[in-house]
Structure 1
Amino acid sequence: MDLRRFRALREAGMSIAEIARETGTNWRTVKKYLDQPGIVVPERGTPRKGCIPQVIVPYAPVVDAWLQADITLKGTVIHERLVDTYGFTGHYQRVKMYLQEARPRIAAELGLGPADMDGLHRRFEVFPGAQAQVDWGDEGGILTRAGIRKVYSFHMVLSYSRDPFCCFTTSMDLATFWDCHRRAFAHFGGVPKTIVYDRTKTVVRRHVAPGQAVPLHPEAVAFAGHYDFDIDVLAAYRPTGKGRVERQVTIVRDHVLAGRGFASLMELDAAFAAWVPLRRSRTHRTHGEVIGVRAARDHAALRPLPARPYIVADRHLRYVGKDCLVAFEASLYSVPARRIRPRQLVEVRSGHDTVSLHLLTADATGSTLLAVHPRAAVRGQWVIDMSHWGGLPDGHTRAVTAGDTAERHAGRASVSSTSPLQDLLHRTGADQIPVGRRPLQFYDEIAGVRPIRLAPVPGTTGATTEKETA
């Protein structure tokens, strides 16, 4: 408490209440010392700073060496290493206070300016309708009970007003990504002049080194040209360049999804649509205006939608199986059997809701389209048009019987079987084949041999043995 300041402020014309507010002291305390002019205020003593060495001082060379190796090393890591390796007994705050002085000093020694420090970015503002930002959110198994393993959220935010759009999907492929754009444009009633993306594979064809021009995906170029907007791709690892939409992902999770249960994607989209009016009625903390009021100016400055939408299809090559089915995304789609052959290569064009299959070259009619199917909602589904199997054997002519047919038994005398062999001969009809009966001497005469009678063998009953001689 500086008592000399009380008298200086009093002499300057301030009241006791004003002095109390200025110095943060109770007015009774101010009045007490002003009413006692005989009190002598002791002079300030010499500062004791530096008299007692700080606990961190013996470890300063070690900390400086670590900072020279990595200027961004965190204070918590430095404190942890000092305790573990060097037996440091001081508190983390001592390390933190030392780093406030040491980090700028070592950065200057290394020749690092403010531009070389991480964690800094430039804040910007845009005109109405000038920019929107796009990002994905991973919502995990929010619809696991409905049989959907993974759900993703697509977000687009108008940068001027922070007016949001969100829809939920089960895929982040090319067709779904640009279909979500069409839904966002319909939600806002127009197209912004520029859309900011990170380096997603649906926008960037391949990654390049820093400073080089980023090659865009051909479908992204075609879609942007049709809707007349520019694509702005951020540098790698710079999420702060689209902080408006990054923040919006968290807001939707907290205000729309948290603590609720859903049974389908439609319920998720309906929950967001019901929350949008509440969001637009709020005053944004950054621009200080009601989001809905500012969004009206944003929407009015958007470019108009084209007369016809641009449909993006993701294209893949697949082989046709012997069963006239084509495998795509773990599901099977049928093609006409009369227009393809086994192991033929066809093109699969997948849209958001449909899958079309095409020949690689046009047929005699000049058409390449084989079939159009609704896209499978879950993996492992069979999407089949039964007419595609027309003309293939279906087994309707196959028949079995437990006995002979009536035609084969017509006019055949009944034979009573006395053995399994006779039954087999009877079932196959072999017993009905006419066989000529001749004496054995007939075959002897044909072969030119004559039987020879031998004398009876002793010990027999008088039977004789015949021996054939030439």
Structure 2
Amino acid sequence: MNTPLTTTQTTATPVTTATPASVYQQLRGHLTELKLADAADALPRVLDQAQAEGWSLTHALERLLSIEVTATDARRLSGRFRFANLPTGATLDDFDLDAASGIDRNLLAELGTCRYLETATNVLLIGPPGVGKTHIATGLGHAAVQAGYRTYFTSAADLAARCHRAAIEGKWGTMMRFFAGPTLLVIDELGYLPLPAEAASALFQVINQRYLKTSIVITTNRPVGAWGEILGDTTEAAAMLDRLLHRSVVVTLDGGSYRLRNHAAQSNELRRVTTGTNFR
């Protein structure tokens, strides 16, 4: 005798309709879990605006995500500026071209586009103290950071000192990778301070590993013919210049000192205000 199969009936649990408040909390929780903190913070504002203005779901979602993207871009920009180690906030727009001598306006504008970085072209800024070399170098760094390029600013003396310390501590490879990393490396004030004997080797290694891959901006008060004297090694200086100049823009500046002009202008303004006399 066959035993009849027992049919078990299951009663479906009715689906509880989520309340708008719980859906809102879930949505905010999802955004937080996905680390979209700015979108989570903006959610109530965007929902209120969407309801008030009759936005579509697509429009509201686009507005919410655009807030997150804008905040992310701002954080990345801030991080690039922190890493860049720029000495001031000087930009190319701040540079007084009317007082400068030896620089082409069109050339400076072209450098400001950062297109030279796409071809790993180097920029050498040569001239006496005070003519604006560091200002231009800083401005180029500022433009590169704004354009999304990883940038690092250092003085020649600091670069040499850090490489020397790394060699002593057995971290030479790590230091070389650090200086090879940025798309733009700015080396300021080559020739201003005496460099130790090993500085030529350190500078050559940094320049050599970046050769035809990434760009370098160098400021110096000495003509390239005197670099052997600066570095204490004419052979290494020649090899360094061979790589730097292979694909480069050389800007020679002259004229009076920016700092002295600014000092004179400030003094003149102070006298004018206190005495009513304009000194020339």
Pairwise TM-score range, normalised by the shorter structure: under 0.3
If each structure's strand is expressed as a fraction of its own residues, which one has the higher value?
1
If each structure's helix is expressed as a fraction of its own residues, which one has the higher value?
2
Give TM-score, length-normalised by structure 1: 0.16
Tell which has more relative contact order, 1 or 2 (C-alpha 8 A, sep 6+): 2
Give TM-score, length-normalised by structure 2: 0.23
